[in-house]
Every structure is written in C-alpha cells, then in structure tokens.
Structure 1
Amino acid sequence: MPGSEEREIQDLMDRYFDGIYHSDSAVLRTVFHTDLAYVNGTEGSYENMGLEPYMARIDARTATASRGDLRDEVIERIAFKGNRIGIVEARMTMMGRNYQDLLTILNTDDGWRVLTKVFSFVERGD
C-alpha cells in the first residue's frame, strides 16, 4: 500500500493529467508552483517559460477531451529526496504526440507542487 506521500503525489498527478486533458488552467494552478519553469527540450522545439505564459497557452488550446481523444497517461516513477523534494517521471499521448515528462516536485505550505516541467515529445505515426 502506498504511503501518504505517494498518495499525495498520485492525487497531484491525477489533477495534472486531468488539467492537461481538459485544458483547465484552474485545475493546473493547483498542480504547479507559482515559480514554475516550463521547458520543452525537444530538438528543434526548445522553449522556456513561466507559469503565466503557460497558463495562457493552456487557455488558448483546444482541449484534447473535446476531440474525444482517448486518455493514455502513465506515472513511470516517483522518487523522493527527503520529505521536501522529489521527481516524477511520466508519459502521456495527446495532440498526435508521445510526451515524456520529468517533473520536479516541492512540498510547500500548500502541499506538493510541480516546480519544473521538463519534457520532450515525438510525433506519432498514426
């Protein structure tokens, strides 16, 4: 049975996946730290932005859910370093791409939050 920290991270990731699938910035604001660093590390697509530009992008995006796309998301690993920091490795498929996420997490006064989202993607062939 997972410990309380693992359950908290599972809840955080449930909100993360839901917020992205539904393009819901209100939900995602409960996931991300206000000092978020969003980094696309895909070759030829590098970009780095903070929370507000990322939330504006989410708000402008057509939600994956509205297209009826199936959800395909997995938490591959959760690792803690002490009781304040950790990393989550996750993957998801949406918008015709396979995404790989490395999320650093920080235990704040408001609970666990994603401080950095570093990801890359590959286009799907189907």
Structure 2
Amino acid sequence: MSGSYDAEVQDLMTRYFEGLYHSNSDILRTVFHPDLAYVNGTEGTYEHMGLDAYMTRIDARTPPASRGDARDEVIERITFKGTRIGMVEARMTMMGRNYQDLLTIIHTDQDWRVLTKVFSFVERKD
C-alpha cells in the first residue's frame, strides 16, 4: 500500500523531526495521537508515558536547534498494512545520542498519527 499515503507519512515525519529538533510540542501534537504510548527501550532506562507527560518533557528540554546541533535524520522504512495502519522505522542523531525509532502509525478520520513511539539510543562517542 503506497501512493498518496507515502506523501502523507513523509509530511508526518517531516513534522516529527522538526518538532523534536526545535522541542516544539505544538508541532508534535500534530504528529502524535492523543492515545500515544511513548516507550524508551534503552537498556537501563526503560520508561513508558503518555502524550501529556511526553509533551511536558519536550517543553522543558533545551531545543537542539538552539544549541546549533547538527541534524541527521533518516526514514529507513515505511510499511503499510491495509489502509489504516503502518510502521515507520527511522533514526536520528541529536542531543549527543543516536536514536532508533519504531513508530506505529494509524490513520484517523483526518490524517496519519503516531500511536506508539518505541525507541532506543546509544551515546555518541564524538
């Protein structure tokens, strides 16, 4: 399943990366589903939270953009299962870490949203 969905999910991911880089919860609220499950699966730092707790964390964060952090982000794969669900595999570097994201997406009555964000990171050596 692809076509127009690819373009819509590419736009979703553009907002995802922008929102994270600028620590902008207003942008990120257009990306995440209200029932978001945020899961950090990094060894030794497991945590789970919902949308509001995650947006509070984003609002308290010093934006990587304000520090001039280099941006490196890639969508590795987008997979659709029918017309309403899919998965995005992505990676990005920010805040001195390399992140690996598995994002499940769902098509609401309006647009695509991230329903679950499961990720892990490793500290950068440089």
Class of the TM-score when normalised by the shorter of the 2 chains: over 0.9
Amino acid of the residue matched to residue 97 of structure 1? Answer: R
Amino acid of the residue matched to residue 113 of structure 1? Answer: R
1:1-40 counterparts in 2 under 5 A? 3-40=3-40
Amino acid of the residue matched to residue 84 of structure 1? Answer: R
CA-CA distance at 1:110 after TM superposition: 2.2
Identity of aligned residues (%): 78
Q: Does 1:92 align with 2:96?
A: no
CA-CA distance at 1:94 after TM superposition: 0.4
Q: Show the counterpart of 2:61.
A: 61
Q: Show the counterpart of 2:79.
A: 79
| TM score, norm. by length of structure 1 | 0.98
Count, aligned residues? 125
RMSD over equivalenced CA pairs, Å? 0.7
5+ residue gaps, structure 2? none
Residue deviations 1:50-75, cap 9 Å, x none?
00000000000000000001110000
**What secondary structure is seen at the aligned counterpart in 2 of 1:75?**
strand
CA-CA distance at 1:109 after TM superposition: 1.2
Residue deviations 1:57-106, cap 9 Å, x none?
00000000000011100000000000000000000000000000000000
5+ residue gaps, structure 1? none
Distance 2:40 2:81 in 1: 24
Q: Show the counterpart of 1:102.
A: 102
| TM score, norm. by length of structure 2 | 0.98
Distance 2:27 2:120 in 1: 22
Q: Show the counterpart of 1:45.
A: 45
Q: Which runs of 4+ in 1 moved over 2 A?
A: none
